[in-house]
A and B are shown apart, each in its own frame.
Chain A
Amino acid sequence: MSLDKSLKVRVLVSVGQHPKSGRERRADQDSRALELALGMPGFSVGLLHAGSESPALREYLGMGVKAIDVLKQPSSADVVPALVQALRNDSPDLVLCGTRAETGEASGMTPYRVANALGWPLVPAVVSISRGSDGTYEVLQALPRGQRRLLKVRTPFVATVDPAAAEARQSAFGPAQRGQLQAVAVASVADPAANDLEFSPARKRPKRIAAARKATTAAERFKAATVKSASKGGQVLVKETAAEKASAILNLLVAEGVIAVDSPS
Chain B
Amino acid sequence: MSSIIRKDPRKNWILRNRLHPLHQQMLVAEGAGNNAVVRGPSGLIRKNPHNIGFIGPNGIKRIDRLGGSGTVVAAGQRGEAVDTRLPLVQISNPESWIVVVPDLAGGRLTSHDRDVLGQARQLAAANPACAVVALVFGDLSENLADDSNGLALAGVDRLLHFSGDDWNGYCPEQELAAMLAVHRQLLPQHWLFPDTHLSGNDRALRLATRLEERPAMHAWQIRDGRVTCRAGSERNDVTRSLPKVVALLAECAMPVDDSRHEVLPMALPELPGVLARIQDAGAVAVDPNQIAMAEAGFILSAGNGIHDWEQFHEAARVLGATEGASRVAVDDGFMPRFRQVGATGTWVTARVYVAVGISGAVQHLQGIGACEKVIAINTDAGCDMVKRADLSVIGDSQEILAALIEQVKALRQPAASEGGRHHVA
Least distance between A83 CB and chain B CB atoms (Å): 14
Instruction: List residues of chain B with CB under 8 Å of any chain A CB.
Output: 66-67, 69, 105-106, 170, 173, 196-198, 201-202, 205-206, 208-210, 214-218, 220, 229-241, 251, 254, 257-258, 277-284, 286, 290-292, 295-298, 319-321, 351-352, 354, 372-375, 377, 381, 386-396, 399-404, 406-408, 411-412, 414-415, 418, 420-422, 424
A231 within 8 A of B: yes
A185 within 8 A of B: no
A144: contacting residue among B69, B198, B251, B377, CB under 8 A: B198
A167 within 8 A of B: no
Query: Is the beta-carbon distance between A252 and B373 smaller than 8 angstroms?
Result: yes
A145: contacting residue among B240, B297, B399, B402, CB under 8 A: B297
Stretch at the interface among A44-52, A88-96, A97-105: A97-105
Cα A150 to Cα B281 in complex, Å, equals 5
Query: Is the beta-carbon distance between A213 and B231 smaller than 8 angstroms?
Result: no
Query: Is the beta-carbon distance between B298 and A112 smaller than 8 angstroms?
Result: no
- Which B residues are in CB contact (< 8 Å) with A249? 354, 375, 377, 391, 393, 400, 404
Query: Is the beta-carbon distance between B400 and A253 smaller than 8 angstroms?
Result: no
What are 28 pairs between A and B in contact, CB < 8 Å?
A18-B233, A102-B232, A103-B233, A104-B232, A105-B231, A105-B232, A109-B215, A116-B210, A125-B202, A140-B284, A141-B198, A149-B281, A150-B282, A150-B422, A152-B278, A153-B278, A197-B240, A233-B389, A234-B390, A237-B393, A245-B403, A248-B391, A248-B393, A249-B400, A250-B408, A250-B411, A252-B373, A259-B408
- Which B residues are in CB contact (< 8 Å) with A208? 251, 254
Question: Chain A: which residue is nearest B228 at the CB level?
Answer: A203
Query: Is the beta-carbon distance between A146 and B392 smaller than 8 angstroms?
Result: no
- A124 touching B373 in the complex, CB below 8 Å, given contacts A205-B220, A213-B258: no
- Which B residues are in CB contact (< 8 Å) with A217? 66-67, 69
Query: Is the beta-carbon distance between B298 and A261 smaller than 8 angstroms?
Result: no
- A256 touching B352 in the complex, CB below 8 Å, given contacts A102-B233, A146-B296, A236-B392: yes
- A148 touching B286 in the complex, CB below 8 Å, given contacts A109-B208, A248-B393, A256-B373: yes
Question: Chain B: which residue is nearest A234 at the CB level?
Answer: B390
- Which B residues are in CB contact (< 8 Å) with A151? 170, 278-281
A242 within 8 A of B: yes
- Which A residues are in CB contact (< 8 Å) with B69? 216-217, 219-220
B234: contacting residue among A19, A109, A124, A257, CB under 8 A: A19
Query: Is the beta-carbon distance between B209 and A238 smaller than 8 angstroms?
Result: no
- Which B residues are in CB contact (< 8 Å) with A256? 351-352, 372-373
Query: Is the beta-carbon distance between A198 and B239 smaller than 8 angstroms?
Result: yes
Query: Is the beta-carbon distance between A123 and B278 smaller than 8 angstroms?
Result: yes
Cα A154 to Cα B278 in complex, Å, equals 8
Produce 1/0 per residue, A118-157, CB < 8 A to B: 0001111100000000001010111111111111111001
B206: contacting residue among A16, A112, A233, CB under 8 A: A112
Least distance between B347 CB and chain A CB atoms (Å): 15
Question: Chain A: which residue is nearest B231 at the CB level?
Answer: A106
* Residues of A within 8 A of B (CB-CB), count: 85
Other CB < 8 Å A-B pairs besides A122-B206, A144-B196, 10 of them? A103-B232, A105-B238, A106-B218, A109-B215, A121-B173, A136-B279, A157-B277, A219-B66, A231-B387, A256-B352
Q: Give me the 6 closest cross-chain CB pairs, A-B, nearest first.
A: A106-B232, A146-B291, A246-B403, A234-B390, A262-B415, A258-B298
Query: Is the beta-carbon distance between A250 and B404 smaller than 8 angstroms?
Result: yes
Question: Chain A: which residue is nearest B349 at the CB level?
Answer: A145
